[in-house]
């Protein structure tokens, strides 16, 4: 069998050879990029980064803070600067490194290396009593936080946790609801007052300025959950 006078088996062999070469080139390119990123460390200057990675594709500048992106997606690599020095970066491996510690995209700050919760996170707590005997308490909680754009992280009978936002938002946005937030909801035992519900918000701010108005936004989310539970009685 032939196509345009060329035996099919020769066409198949050529396609396999071309694809193999393309895959090899892709692997070589990835390896070259990885080697360039291996040299990136905190405290490097803009000039050092430019010499190693070249000009960024995306650049966001807010005051003394800058975020450089080396691809259309965050996972293509990003670097954070403050006053011209690298303070954090994410290699194409999708891991965020910050000066003094490391934060994974699906985890929370590792404070063992000095990432201080006092300066890098904001905590808000809301506690109230829900009516005893509510059916589908977990479903009410999940539905409420899903409506606020949270993703369910884990669920147990007496504790649920959710996440929302991006760790990079604090560099160039002022909307607290866009910041990376982890919410833990703890369900207590039934008492004469009702079932104790404790809602703990932990927001990754990385030294972004926050105030009472930001805390009030999160408190309102917790209070809205209280209203939904009381309405479900």
Is it the case that residue 94 has pLDDT exceeding 60?
A: no
Q: At 134, is the secondary structure helix, strand, or coil?
A: coil
User: What are the tokens at 114?
Assistant: 């000095």
- The first and second tokens of residue 133, run together, are 């005997």
- Residue position matching structure tokens 């003394």: 64
Higher pLDDT, 162 or 38: 162
How far is residue 43's CA from residue 63's CA, in Å, rounded to a whole number?
18
pLDDT score, position 112: 33
What's the whole-model pTM score? 0.56
Query: 118-231: same fold as 39-99?
Result: no
How many of the other CB atoms lie within 10 Å of CB of 109? 24
Which of the pair, 94 or 210, is modelled with greater confidence? 210
Token pair 């069998």 is at which residue?
Answer: 1
3-state secondary structure 150-169: CEEEEECCCEEEEEECECCH
Domain 39-99 falls in which CATH fold? Beta-lactamase Inhibitory Protein; Chain:B, domain 1 (3.30.1450)
pLDDT value of residue 184: 96
Cα 127 from chain centre: 26
> What's the sign of the alpha-carbon dihedral 160, 172, 176, 150?
negative
Beta-carbon neighbour count of residue 31 at 10 Å?
10
Between 58 and 17, name the one with better pLDDT: 58
Phi-psi region of 168 (alpha: psi -120 to 50; beta: other; left: phi over 0): alpha
- Does residue 108 surpass a pLDDT of 90? no
Range 118-231: architecture per CATH:
2-Layer Sandwich (3.30)
**Spatial CA neighbour of 101 closest among 111, 91, 92:** 111
Does residue 120 carry a pLDDT above 80? Answer: no
Neighbours of 214 (CB within 10 A): 20
Which residue has 């892709």 as its token pair? 26
Domain locations along the chain: 39-99, 118-231
């Amino acid at each position: 069998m032939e196509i345009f006078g060329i035996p099919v088996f020769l066409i198949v062999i050529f396609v396999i050879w071309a694809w193999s070469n393309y895959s090899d080139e892709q692997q070589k390119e990835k390896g070259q990029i990885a080697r360039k990123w291996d040299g990136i460390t905190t405290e490097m200057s803009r000039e050092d980064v430019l010499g190693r990675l070249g000009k960024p594709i995306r650049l966001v500048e807010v005051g003394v803070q800058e975020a450089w992106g080396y691809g259309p997606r965050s996972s293509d690599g990003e670097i954070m600067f403050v006053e011209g020095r690298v303070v954090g970066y994410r290699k194409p491996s999708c891991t965020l490194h910050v000066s003094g510690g490391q934060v994974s995209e699906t985890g929370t700050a590792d404070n063992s290396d000095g990432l201080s919760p006092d300066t890098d996170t904001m905590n808000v707590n809301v506690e109230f009593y829900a009516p005893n005997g509510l059916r589908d308490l977990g479903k009410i909680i999940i539905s409420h936080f899903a409506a606020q754009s949270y993703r369910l992280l884990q669920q147990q009978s007496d504790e649920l946790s959710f996440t929302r936002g991006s760790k990079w938002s604090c560099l160039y946005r002022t909307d607290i609801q866009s910041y990376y937030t982890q919410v833990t909801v703890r369900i207590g035992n039934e008492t004469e007052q009702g079932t104790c519900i404790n809602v703990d918000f932990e927001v990754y701010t990385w030294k972004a300025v926050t105030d009472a108005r930001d805390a009030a936004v999160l408190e309102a989310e917790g209070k809205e959950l209280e209203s939904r539970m009381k309405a479900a009685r």
